[in-house]
Amino acid sequence: MTSVEAREAPKARRVHFSVVSSSVSLDEILAGLPVSPDETCRKGEVSSRSILRRAARESVWMLAEEGDAAADVSALLESMRARLSAIREQLLVLSGSGCSMILSVVQWMSPDDPTGPGFVVGPDLMRLLAELGAPVDADLYVGGE
């Protein structure tokens, strides 16, 4: 029997914005953005988030807003909007040069949920995501973390 590498448990509420490319290198993405990412993965490396432990097919630059089971996902989204708005122009340049972008939301819900099920994506964030051509991927789960 082989052992599985111990990993930190994922947060119950997560909002991630990723810049992804198979043709633009991570170094080029990093050079094009004036803020430090919360996480990166170079094409060909194994991401710390990879459950299958296989090499990434694309380079990824990521910003993350995360919280526990009591975190308000709408508030996490608003925090992400503020971070993205500050680098809007640079993201627009990357979106036109071979990079794609995606906003991912994960919410674990339970009957004890203090903020209720679901979340709101405000009009300013929707407008920015539309400008960037970035879809929203939402994964909602019922149960424990």
* Domain edges within the chain: 13-142
Place of tokens 């971070």: 83
- Strands, E, within 1-145: which ranges? 13-21, 39-41, 59-67, 100-109, 136-142
Q: What is the pLDDT along the chain (145 residues), one digit of tens a residue?
A: 333 333 344 568 999 999 999 999 999 999 999 999 999 988 867 766 656 677 678 899 999 999 988 889 999 999 999 999 999 999 999 999 999 999 999 998 877 777 767 888 999 999 999 999 999 999 988 875 4
Q: Any bridge partners for residue 136, and if so which?
A: 103
Q: What's the token pair of residue 80?
A: 């992400």
pLDDT digits (tens, 9 = 90+) for 36-64: 999 998 886 776 665 667 767 889 999 99
